[in-house]
Amino acid sequence: MRVGEFQNYIDGKWQDAVSGKKTTVCCPCDGEPVTSLACSDGRDIDLAVASARRAFEEEDWAFNPRLRSDILMKWATLMQEDFAHLCEILSLESGKPLAESRIEIGNAINYMKYAASSARTLYGSTSTVAKNRLSMMNREPCGVIVGIEPWNYPVTLMVRDSIPALAAGNTLIVKPATQTSGCSLAVIKLLTDNVPELPRGVINTITGPGGEIGRIFSEHPGIDMITMTGGLETGKDIMRRAAGTMKKVSLELGGKSPNVVFADCDFDKALTWCANAIFSNAGQTCTAASRLVLDEAIADRFLEKLVERAESIRPGYCLDPETTMGPVDNESQMNKILNYIEIGKSCAKLLTGGYRYMENGCDKGFYIAPTIFLNPPADSPIVQEEIFGPVLVVQTFKTEEEAIALANGTKFGLCAGLWSTDFNRVMRVSRKLKSGNVWVNHYTGFAPECETGGYKESGLDRAAGVDGFIKYTEIKHINMEFG
């Protein structure tokens, strides 16, 4: 197995699932088996929860921010030292080109360093509420937290979304997405095998059938909070099930994000980012700008150049340095995308792509040619639903009001790009966009220090920044009376 053979990590030990069952992950480029995983069930989950609970109650993790910070910083260094290997296994499991894996692992290290520095900044506040009374608002970790991870950026998002829970003093159970569990677990193994100061039970892992074990987690009474990054329907299911025990829930969900391009933009820069923002990671990015809301005044010239960019993309094997786009993650995802493409053909003008790509040795993988549709009806599924593939929908506009209405015209609100050199327009429009992130004259402007998350059905809560850290705490009000 080129990625590796992995067990669950529970109570300080790597161990097989109680059932002894295993599952295999294959590379989406060619179907080659690359990873073996424990196939867990409720019994493994009970063990992981007991381990995390014991560690939370008995170890001094919750009260030792310096230890937490030191351990997370060591973890970042270990990731840096293993950089080349992590990039390769991430590519093999996800199919993404090596260049994209390098960006992902680099980002993950950056998020890890930020989590390490946050660990020492868990401040509360005090308030003098009467002459003889002082109130302390003390921030305390929530307890046992489960991190349910997606497969599209399995390392960065595990670190960005779940590791701050450790930094805040909680204990953690990581449930990676099955398709990319190997690279997530390889990162965790760097920590567990090389940092003896890590208290037993502080971090635990469970792999297996995502829906089944995810549902058990959501309902489990021994868990205090679920933090999940993934699809909208999964998020709703978690919320419904978690309601039974009033768990805290934090959700980073999907999007149908617009790049809003006005005629007064920097044309070449906007063009580059409009292509990158949909076709990188084969469109499997929550923040993908899967809609281009384009000023009619420049539409013909812009689209001609955009089609050229799309047609210059070279799908191929993930480790081939010439490859600029990998496959989509799995066969059912590919078929779902091809189905959306058929819908598009029936209601919009196809500008390029629109088929499964099988040249250049891609016949065994799940490749889709970069695809662009022009002006489908606003209520069409290809405008309203997250396709999660390299499919761009262009919607043209004449006025600023029309551009804003189109940009806000879906149930999602994760992010938006805004391209204009008119300062007043930038200020007006960015305030009206119903979106957790607005990137002006660039795209994907993430930073560990800055919150990200969704309006509307794109999620609950924020990841990264101060909010992405303190969401893993409870505030305890201690009110003291003195004589």
Q: Which residues are tagged catalytic?
A: 252, 286
Q: Which of 6, 56, 75, 151 contacts ligand NAD by CB under 6 A? A: 151
Instruction: Give least dist CB 209 to ligand NAD, A.
Output: 8
Instruction: Give least dist CB 160 to ligand NAD, A.
Output: 8
Q: Which of 252, 295, 385, 457 contacts ligand NAD by CB under 6 A? A: 252
Interactions with ligand NAD, residue window 382-421 (CB under 6 A): 386, 388, 414
Q: Does 157 bind ligand NAD (CB under 6 A)?
A: yes
Instruction: Draw the binding track, 345-384, toward ligand NAD (x: CB under 6 A; -: no contact).
Output: ----------------------------------------
Asked if 303 and 351 touch (Cβ cutoff 8 Å), the reply is: yes
Near ligand NAD by CB under 6 A, which window of 128-136, 230-238, 273-281, 301-309?
230-238
The total number of residues shown for the chain amounts to 483
Instruction: Give least dist CB 214 to ligand NAD, A.
Output: 2
Residues binding ligand NAD: what is the number (CB under 6 A)?
31
Neighbours of 411 (CB within 10 A): 13
Q: Which of 8, 69, 204, 229 contacts ligand NAD by CB under 6 A? A: 229
Instruction: Give least dist CB 452 to ligand NAD, A.
Output: 7
| β-bridge partners, 372 | 352, 392
Asked if 330 and 389 touch (Cβ cutoff 8 Å), the reply is: no
Distance CA 458, CA 254 (A): 5
Interactions with ligand NAD, residue window 11-50 (CB under 6 A): none
Instruction: Give least dist CB 154 to ligand NAD, A.
Output: 9
Instruction: Give least dist CB 342 to ligand NAD, A.
Output: 21
Write out the two tokens for 345.
């053909």
Q: Which of 28, 143, 150, 327 contacts ligand NAD by CB under 6 A? A: 150
Instruction: Give least dist CB 199 to ligand NAD, A.
Output: 26
Q: Which of 234, 257, 290, 410 contacts ligand NAD by CB under 6 A? A: 234
Nearer to ligand NAD, 104 or 295 (CB): 104
Q: How far is CA 261 from the centre of its chain?
A: 25
Instruction: Draw the binding track, 170-189, toward ligand NAD (x: CB under 6 A; -: no contact).
Output: -----x-x------------
3-state secondary structure the chain: CCCEECCEEECCEEECCCCCCEEEEECCCCCCEEEEEECCCHHHHHHHHHHHHHHHHHCCHHHCHHHHHHHHHHHHHHHHHCHHHHHHHHHHHHCCCHHHHHHHHHHHHHHHHHHHHHCCCCCCEEEEEECCEEEEEEEEECCEEEEECCCCCHHHHHHHHHHHHHHCCCEEEEECCHHHHHHHHHHHHHHHHHCCCCCCCCEEECCCCHHHHHHHHHHCCCCCEEEEECCHHHHHHHHHHHHHHCCEEEEECCCCCEEEECCCCCHHHHHHHHHHHHHHHHHCCCCCCCEEEEEHHHHHHHHHHHHHHHHCCCECCCCCCCCCECCCCCHHHHHHHHHHHHHHHHHCEEEECCCECCCCCCCCCCCECCEEEECCCCCCHHHHCCCCCCEEEEEEECCHHHHHHHHCCCCEECEEEEECCCHHHHHHHHHHCCCCEEEECCCCCCCCCCCECCEECCEECCECCCHHHHCCEEEEEEEEECC
Q: Does 104 bind ligand NAD (CB under 6 A)?
A: no
Near ligand NAD by CB under 6 A, which window of 106-114, 134-142, 152-160, 164-172?
152-160
Q: Which of 152, 257, 259, 380 contacts ligand NAD by CB under 6 A? A: 152
Nearer to ligand NAD, 56 or 151 (CB): 151
Instruction: Give least dist CB 217 to ligand NAD, A.
Output: 6
Nearer to ligand NAD, 67 or 115 (CB): 115
Instruction: Draw the binding track, 200-219, toward ligand NAD (x: CB under 6 A; -: no contact).
Output: ----------xx--xx--x-
Nearer to ligand NAD, 210 or 316 (CB): 210
Nearer to ligand NAD, 90 or 286 (CB): 286
Asked if 84 and 106 touch (Cβ cutoff 8 Å), the reply is: no
Nearer to ligand NAD, 122 or 157 (CB): 157
Instruction: Give least dist CB 221 to ligand NAD, A.
Output: 16
Nearer to ligand NAD, 82 or 237 (CB): 237
Nearer to ligand NAD, 161 or 295 (CB): 161
Q: Does 149 bind ligand NAD (CB under 6 A)?
A: yes
Q: Tell me, what amino acid is at 195?
A: V
Interactions with ligand NAD, residue window 253-292 (CB under 6 A): 253-255, 286
Nearer to ligand NAD, 208 or 370 (CB): 208
Name the nearest CA neighbour of 469 among 32, 109, 119. Answer: 119
Distance CA 221, CA 224 (A): 8
Residue numbers at the binding site for ligand NAD (CB under 6 A): 148-153, 157, 175, 177, 210-211, 214-215, 218, 228-231, 234, 237-238, 252-255, 286, 386, 388, 414, 454, 459
